């Protein structure tokens, strides 16, 4: 049966089939991305270990900025400071200069200072490990909170960024208009133990094959599982 046909079954059968297709797609992506450049979060972990503060800071720097820009900026910043106390001691102008050309570098430098103050004042300088507490921090939205939970604390959480949102919809796994909706829908159909990995796989896929405007569908190994929804142009 083709993926396109699974919805013709009754809802229980359709759910089982959809789950099977999702698992097959994840297996294929795991293989196909094995030689691709790792996402920035994994590179930070490789360099510094599962340090929640560094993962959080690098995620804030990556917002609306490509990994190829935000990752070197994070590394430059971590040469200067690796704790909230150390980072708070670096003047905002210097932080902004060091992280440039990250998008909104001045705004992010100020945010990082506010974040460090919050962590020192309310959390003893330690990044909290609950979603509610993370969401209360300056500059932290659902995507950043989930990335920190999953990557720093090994707590299953679905980090839905632009790649995860776009590709989940193209594949036909969800039909949603916002990342928040995508997160809720994916939580129902993707096994919890795959939530963190799914973000890494779809980020690599989005950066290398399933581009926002013109994806490489002709040579895509998951084409057989993909509904190609909203794909207007492809190569
Ligand atoms: S077939 Fe095209 S739209 Fe579907 S995952 Fe592959 S590149 Fe993306």
Measured in Å, residue 18 CA sits from the centre of ligand 1 at 17
**Residue-level pLDDT at 17:** 75
**Residue-level pLDDT at 93:** 97
Under DSSP, the state recorded for 214 is S
**Residue-level pLDDT at 151:** 97
Domains within the chain, CATH numbers bracketed: 3-32+158-225 (1.10.1670.10), 40-153 (1.10.340.30)
Measured in Å, residue 24 CA sits from the centre of ligand 1 at 14
Instruction: Please work out whether the CB of residue 28 comes within 6 Å of at least one atom of ligand 1.
Output: no
Instruction: Please work out whether the CB of residue 84 comes within 6 Å of at least one atom of ligand 1.
Output: no
Between helix 195-208 and helix 162-171 the angle, nearest 10°, is 90
**Residue-level pLDDT at 218:** 94
Measured in Å, residue 216 CA sits from the centre of ligand 1 at 7
Output the tens digit of pLDDT for each of the chain's 235 residues.
555 565 555 566 667 777 888 999 999 999 999 999 999 999 999 999 999 999 999 999 999 899 999 999 999 999 999 999 999 999 999 999 999 999 899 999 999 999 999 999 999 999 999 999 999 999 999 999 999 999 999 999 999 999 999 999 999 999 999 999 999 999 999 999 999 999 999 999 999 999 999 999 999 999 998 999 999 999 9
Q: Which two tokens stand for residue 86?
A: 């150390």
The full DSSP string for 50-80 is: S-HHHHHHHHHHHTTS-HHHHHHHHHHHHHH
**Residue-level pLDDT at 162:** 94
Under DSSP, the state recorded for 102 is S
**Residue-level pLDDT at 6:** 58
Measured in Å, residue 210 CA sits from the centre of ligand 1 at 5
**Residue-level pLDDT at 19:** 84
Q: 5: how many CB neighbours lie within 10 A of its CB?
A: 10
Instruction: Please work out whether the CB of residue 216 comes within 6 Å of at least one atom of ligand 1.
Output: yes
Backbone torsion region of residue 214, taken as left when φ is above 0, otherwise alpha when ψ lies between -120 and 50, otherwise beta = beta
**Residue-level pLDDT at 69:** 97
Question: Maximum distance among all alpha carbons in the chain?
Answer: 61
Instruction: Please work out whether the CB of residue 189 comes within 6 Å of at least one atom of ligand 1.
Output: no
Instruction: Please work out whether the CB of residue 228 comes within 6 Å of at least one atom of ligand 1.
Output: yes
Instruction: Please work out whether the CB of residue 63 comes within 6 Å of at least one atom of ligand 1.
Output: no
Q: What distance in Å separates the CA atoms of residue 202 and residue 26, rounded to the nearest whole number?
A: 9
**Residue-level pLDDT at 205:** 97
45-50-53-54 Cα dihedral, nearest 10 degrees: -10
Of all protein residues, the one whose alpha carbon is nearest to atom 8 of ligand 1 is 210
Of all protein residues, the one whose alpha carbon is nearest to atom 2 of ligand 1 is 217
Instruction: Please work out whether the CB of residue 176 comes within 6 Å of at least one atom of ligand 1.
Output: no
CA 56 and chain centroid, separation: 12
Instruction: Please work out whether the CB of residue 163 comes within 6 Å of at least one atom of ligand 1.
Output: no
> Do the beta carbons of residue 134 and residue 144 sit within 8 Å?
yes
227-206-62-199 Cα dihedral, nearest 10 degrees: 60
Number of H helices, E strands in the chain: 12, 0
**Residue-level pLDDT at 12:** 62
Q: What distance in Å separates the CA atoms of residue 153 and residue 176, rounded to the nearest whole number?
A: 28
């Amino acid at each position: 049966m083709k993926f396109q046909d699974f919805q013709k079954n009754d809802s229980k059968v359709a759910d089982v089939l959809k789950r099977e297709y999702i698992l097959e797609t994840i297996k294929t992506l795991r293989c196909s991305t094995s030689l691709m450049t790792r996402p920035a979060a994994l590179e930070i972990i490789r360099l510094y270990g599962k340090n929640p503060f560094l993962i959080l800071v690098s995620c804030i720097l990556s917002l609306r900025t490509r990994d190829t820009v935000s990752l070197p900026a994070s590394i430059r910043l971590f040469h200067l400071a690796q704790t909230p106390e150390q980072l708070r001691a670096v003047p905002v102008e210097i932080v902004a200069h060091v992280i440039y050309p990250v998008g909104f570098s001045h705004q992010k430098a100020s945010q990082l200072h506010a974040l460090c103050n919050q962590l020192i004042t309310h959390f003893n300088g330690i990044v909290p490990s609950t979603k509610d507490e993370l969401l209360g921090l300056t500059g932290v939205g659902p995507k950043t909170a989930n990335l920190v939970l999953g990557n720093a604390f090994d707590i299953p959480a679905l980090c839905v960024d632009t790649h995860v949102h776009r590709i989940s919809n193209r594949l036909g796994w969800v039909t949603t208009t916002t990342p928040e909706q995508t997160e809720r829908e994916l939580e129902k159909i993707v096994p919890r133990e795959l939530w963190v990995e799914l973000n890494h796989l779809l980020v690599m896929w989005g950066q290398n094959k399933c581009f926002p405007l013109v994806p490489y569908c002709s040579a895509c190994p998951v084409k057989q599982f993909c509904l190609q929804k909203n794909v207007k142009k492809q190569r």
